[in-house]
Amino acid sequence: MALILTCPVCGKRNGYEFRYGGEDKGPRPAEAGLTPAAWCDYVHMNKCTAGVLKEWWFHRDGCGSWFTTWRDTTKNLEVAQPEASK
């Protein structure tokens, strides 16, 4: 198993240059009225999809970008081009 990720800045690179940043759960929720369950859902809970998942990655050893990509967790392969975070 060798992960290769496409960094929107640096191109295809060895997966070990990156840090995984979790399943994509959207922007931070507003603080007001956030219940413990809703907070926990955002912070801790995962879908653990066996299949294609949108997720965050950080090019730690490279350009320092956070970006999302789609990856198939049953194959450990990227499935489409990522989009850069603004």
Residues that bind other proteins (CB under 8 A): 1-4, 9-11, 13-17, 19-23, 26-28, 30-32, 34, 36-37, 39-50, 53, 55-56, 58-66, 73-77, 84-86
For residues 55 and 82, which CB has a smaller minimum distance to other proteins in the complex? 55
Unique residue bearing structure tokens 């970006």: 67
Distance of CA 62 to the CA centre of its chain: 16
| Cβ at position 18, least distance to other proteins in Å | 8
| Cβ at position 71, least distance to other proteins in Å | 8
Unique residue bearing structure tokens 């960094």: 7
Q: Tokens for 62, please give them.
A: 């490279």
For residues 27 and 81, which CB has a smaller minimum distance to other proteins in the complex? 27
| Cβ at position 15, least distance to other proteins in Å | 8
d(CA 80, CA 52): 10
Distance of CA 36 to the CA centre of its chain: 24
